[in-house]
Amino acid sequence: MIDFQKSAVFKLSPIDNAKMLTPINLFLIDNENILRVFQTVRDQLVFTNKRIIAANVQGFTGKKVDYTSIPYSKIQTFSIETAGTLDLDCELEIYISSIGKIRFEIRGSFDIVSFNKAISEFVLAK
């Protein structure tokens, strides 16, 4: 499992959903749809309509991958921070009962407000 406590910030870039790691498709259940895919250098974060899936690529070759699934039902609180004039990155913070706070920094122009609305629908529906 990804050690969310040791990594204070996950710096992400939005990528095309088609570039999602292929094995993640095998994890999806019926009626689970991909909302958005983000990537660090090698790792990926996938938001679906049911959960967040974190793929932590490990080792020198990158063949070993750890997948962590975070159901929206476990999110207690979340917040967003929009991009500013000088700070062009936006942020999403989620608080999970068993893990604590996880902070995601999203690089580039990304509509965090619309994304927040989508996440709100899933978190508040629990």
101-104-108 Cα angle (round to 5): 160
Q: Which residues contact 31 (CB under 8 A, 6 or more apart)?
A: 49
> What is this structure's pTM?
0.85
Which CATH number is correct for 10-124, 2.30.29.50, 3.40.50.20, 2.40.110.10, 2.130.10.10?
A: 2.30.29.50
Give the C-alpha separation, 27 to 115, whole Å: 22
Between 26-35, 48-57, 91-100, the lowest mean confidence (pLDDT) is in 91-100
Sequence spans of domains, the chain: 10-124
Task: Kindly indicate the confidence band of residue 45, based on its pLDDT and cuts at 50, 70 and 90.
Answer: very high
pLDDT over threshold 70, residue 38:
yes
What are φ and ψ of residue 47, in 5° steps? -100, 125
| Sign of the Cα pseudo-torsion (70, 71, 77, 81, in order) | positive
pLDDT over threshold 50, residue 1:
no
